[in-house]
Structure 1
Amino acid sequence: MTRTSTARDPAAQESDPSPSHSVPSHSVDVAVVGAGPSGMAMAILLAREGFSTALVAPAAPADDDRTTALLDSSVEMLRTLDLWDAIEPHTAPLRHMRILDATGRLVRAPEVVFDAAELKLPAFGYNIKNRDLNAELAAACAAERGLLRLEERLLDLTVMPDGTFLSLDGGGRVEARLVIGADGRNSPVRAAAGIGTREWRYPQSALVLNLEHAVPHHNHSAEFHTRTGPFTLVPLKGRMSSLVCVVEPEEAERLMGLDDAALAEDLERRAASIYGKMTVVGKRQIYPLGGVTAKTVGENRCALVGEAAHVFPPIGAQGLNLGLRDVAALGEILVAARKRGEDIGAPGVLARYERARRADIASRTTAVDLLNRSLLSDLLPVQMLRGLGLYLAGKVPPLRRLLMREGIAPILSSPRLMRGLSLR
């Protein structure tokens, strides 16, 4: 028996891992730990495919003002799972993407505009507040037959040759053949499974908030490339946009300390007044920037999705969309394994999941890292390469279309659900 644990109490780690008759106990095929969008989507998918599934985690925060741009391939997945009709009314379409060089350096790239119509799409994706996305997914979880919702925290995870035991902070226990960690960058499931990580930091912080503005956005996003990182405005419903302002940590703290009027004036200046007068709406948040990648996404009867597997800066709307590709790929692999009569938590099944996801995760992480570091670099050759790349993207239609398609969904990693195909 292999025993791994997230518990801090040594006595608890020596306790009998078998379920107790004095506390609630459940036996399922799969336990999904984490109730963010990736975790809830994973649980819904598996329950609808006939796996007995437990979703273990406290409810997602109801006041999360951050936003997520769901790219076209993620929308296809949500549509295939019959979730999109409830989510779409909360969204704003992202039809055009403008990239503007505001570095003020000697070599500057020309403005580039990407248009979804060039790919014969109504939009590259749709921007939504996290609280609205979480609320609709939570409602779908509550209505899903075969999905057991346990609003408790994981205390302890025990891995055995033929299954796992999860001990919860409310006293309950869950027995599962497979545990899926969708529990964030500090994933207890990842730690309990003994999966190592590679981590790094950037000399940047992201100020995140929402804005109202006088001029309509016309469903454009605007990404200003600055010396300290991207300054990105993404459309929300009405005359509103979400903002990710990447600056040095000291500058982020200075901006955080301004009153609403002074902050709005500063942000309007940074945005070159393209949306006119701005007003800060809701709360502000600061996130130090860095990255994490798990050394494997599957081991010891545990699989990782979303930020439990990979974290990188909020650039290019890649974070949650990469996590939803994890969900789609893992669901496809588990359904196929069941058809072959395999143990869904077996090493061979997890190895297939690792092979399916490694190239996508590595390429996205590398691309975002290189783009971010190119903005921070004062080296003239780096500036020239970045400028040339954007120039060619603006002037060479086949290259531009390739970049747009790859940004939405990589050719080499396109699970069935991302192509609008069911798993049956």
Structure 2
Amino acid sequence: MTENTYDIAVVGAGAVGLSAALAFARDGYETVLIGGLDVRRDGRTVALLNGSVRFLEALGVWPAVASVASPLEIMRIIDDTGSLFRPPPASFRAGEIGLDAFGWNIENVALVETLAEAAGHAEHLTLVPEFATGFTTDEQGAALTLAGGTTIRAGLVVAADGRNSKLRQIAGIDAKTWSYPQSAVTVILAHDREHRDTSTEFHTRHGPFTLVPLPGRRSSLVWVTSKEEAERLSSLDDAALALAIERQAQSHLGAMRIDGPRGLVPMSGLSVNRYWSRHLALVGEAAHVFPPIGAQGLNLGFRDVASLRDAVVDGHDAGHSAGSDETLTGYQRSRDLDVRLRTAAVDGLNRTLLTGMIPTDFLRGAGLLALSNIGPLRRIVMREGVLPRVGVPRLMQG
């Protein structure tokens, strides 16, 4: 049996856990990252919004990320619900709010690989590719037991171990879960026409059908539909699936072909009332899970990390330890409202698409029409989506 001591231990080596380890090591905290990399390709991508770009710039990894990502300069929404109150297509341009792009789209696995490469060379950071099997706390801090028998002690443990977080369960933090009668088909596509750095989202009666640019004449697709239809689509061969996608996209990008892995993602959500316990902080999907709508999930996970880093630094300046109740209460305050608002927005959008009620269709159509035609309102909504003014962590302020 061996025992090693660190300032901070991060459990979970996904994009959120890797970024947390890099952020704390950057500030000089002796940090250990526990967990093995998940580099399975499942056709999923993430649109990194402006705050996440600034965060990755602060971590020193943005140039490497940008080299394999594609900018999102225009966001286009098309109502394809068949509603009586269907508004015309709406386009939103990043230049209206002074940005070159709303965000950058990158394959999840490419992002993880880039962050892992940086972590392998970071000072003050130790990588331990094992699984944590036990977690206890005392007055001095926390102790993690690893599968190989080693004990890791730390003043603060950061749980970035996903929606089924073992650390959250051991700490007794309750999680509320829910599901939708939908699944999402994810896939990487090649197509004949240029996407012109435009993300196009078709609002259908079964959920959003979203094409997001990748480098070259390639795009990622998230097709949210009924569970039965998603399973049927997933069972198609590549040629038949590409044709179904082209038809659903109204040949918007011309002929298509499957150009990468595909996935099938159940639509579900998770939330917690407490983001912390004694010497433990939850980040990413350990704290909140979103369906793949609106590019909120990983961007919120990065905001968790940047907010926790601020709380730890501010707590240190006030004489509190990284895992103290005072420090972690500050972290809770910084995240609670932000996550609740984003959860409500994503849930509300999805449910309005599923209902066939005329009043709901009217309100949704009227809202999109207002955003299209009222410039100041459109710019306010765009800024809040990618550049929120209140409570932005320091590493995301540029």
TM-score by length of 2: 0.98
Give the match for residue 34 of structure 1: 12
Structure 2 residue corresponding to 1:340, chosen from 315, 318, 323: 318
Does the alignment pair 1:178 with 2:156? Answer: yes
Which residue identity is paired with 1:121? L
Report deviation, 1:145.
Answer: 1.2
**Cα separation, 2, equivalents of 1:93 and 1:396:** 25
Which residue identity is paired with 1:195? I
3-state secondary structure, aligned to 2:376:
helix
3-state secondary structure, aligned to 2:267:
strand
**Cα separation, 1, equivalents of 2:369 and 2:318:** 50
What CA deviation, in whole Å up to 9, does each residue of 1:78-115 have, x standing for no partner?
Answer: 11221111111011000000000001122212211000
Which residue identity is paired with 1:348? E
Structure 2 residue corresponding to 1:250, chosen from 211, 222, 228: 228
Report deviation, 1:62.
Answer: 5.1
What CA deviation, in whole Å up to 9, does each residue of 1:1-54 have, x standing for no partner?
Answer: xxxxxxxxxxxxxxxxxxxxxx23210111100111111011001011011111
Does the alignment pair 1:152 with 2:130? Answer: yes
Does the alignment pair 1:414 with 2:392? Answer: yes
Q: Mind listing any 5+ residue stretches in structure 2 that lack a counterpart?
A: none
Report deviation, 1:64.
Answer: 4.8
Q: Is the contact between residue 65 and residue 131 of structure 1 (CA under 8 Å) also seen in structure 2? A: no
What CA deviation, in whole Å up to 9, does each residue of 1:334-391 have, x standing for no partner?
Answer: 0111122212111111111101100000000000000000000111111111111100
3-state secondary structure, aligned to 1:167:
strand
**Cα separation, 2, equivalents of 1:85 and 1:64:** 24
Give the match for residue 61 of structure 1: 39
Runs of 4+ in 1 over 3 A off after TM superposition: 62-65
Which residue identity is paired with 1:303? A
Q: Is the contact between residue 42 and residue 263 of structure 2 (CA under 8 Å) also seen in structure 1? A: no
Range that drifts further, 230-239 or 307-316: 307-316
Q: Is the contact between residue 326 and residue 357 of structure 1 (CA under 8 Å) also seen in structure 2? A: yes
Give the match for residue 129 of structure 1: 107
3-state secondary structure, aligned to 2:254:
coil
3-state secondary structure, aligned to 2:18:
helix
Task: Label 1:112 to 1:207 Cα distance change in 2 as closer, same or farther (>3 A).
Answer: same
Which residue identity is paired with 2:192? A
What CA deviation, in whole Å up to 9, does each residue of 1:237-281 have, x standing for no partner?
Answer: 000000000010010110011111111111000000000000012
| Number of residue equivalences | 398
Which residue identity is paired with 2:263? Q
Range that drifts further, 323-332 or 338-347: 338-347
**Cα separation, 1, equivalents of 2:148 and 2:365:** 55
Does the alignment pair 1:117 with 2:95? Answer: yes
Does the alignment pair 1:315 with 2:293? Answer: yes
Give the match for residue 11 of structure 1: none
Q: Is the contact between residue 39 and residue 113 of structure 2 (CA under 8 Å) also seen in structure 1? A: no
Does the alignment pair 1:261 with 2:231? Answer: no
**Cα separation, 2, equivalents of 1:276 and 1:263:** 14
Give % identity: 47
Which residue identity is paired with 2:236? L
Structure 1 residue corresponding to 2:360, chosen from 366, 382, 400: 382
Q: Mind listing any 5+ residue stretches in structure 1 that lack a counterpart?
A: 1-22
Give the match for residue 60 of structure 2: 82
**Cα separation, 1, equivalents of 2:385 and 2:156:** 32
3-state secondary structure, aligned to 2:120:
helix
Report deviation, 1:395.
Answer: 0.4
Give the match for residue 224 of structure 1: 202
Give the match for residue 296 of structure 1: 274
Give the match for residue 404 of structure 1: 382
Does the alignment pair 1:367 with 2:342? Answer: no
**Cα separation, 1, equivalents of 2:40 and 2:152:** 26
Give the match for residue 72 of structure 1: 50
Q: Is the contact between residue 360 and residue 412 of structure 1 (CA under 8 Å) also seen in structure 2? A: no
3-state secondary structure, aligned to 1:59:
coil
**Cα separation, 2, equivalents of 1:409 and 1:308:** 24
Structure 1 residue corresponding to 2:184, chosen from 186, 193, 206: 206
3-state secondary structure, aligned to 2:266:
strand
Q: Is the contact between residue 11 and residue 160 of structure 2 (CA under 8 Å) also seen in structure 1? A: yes
TM-score by length of 1: 0.92
**Cα separation, 1, equivalents of 2:32 and 2:68:** 27
Task: Label 1:164 to 1:326 Cα distance change in 2 as closer, same or farther (>3 A).
Answer: same
**Cα separation, 1, equivalents of 2:200 and 2:3:** 51
Which residue identity is paired with 1:152? E
Does the alignment pair 1:52 with 2:30? Answer: yes
3-state secondary structure, aligned to 1:284:
strand
**Cα separation, 1, equivalents of 2:79 and 2:332:** 37
Does the alignment pair 1:191 with 2:169? Answer: yes
**Cα separation, 2, equivalents of 1:272 and 1:215:** 13
**Cα separation, 1, equivalents of 2:46 and 2:182:** 20
Does the alignment pair 1:287 with 2:241? Answer: no
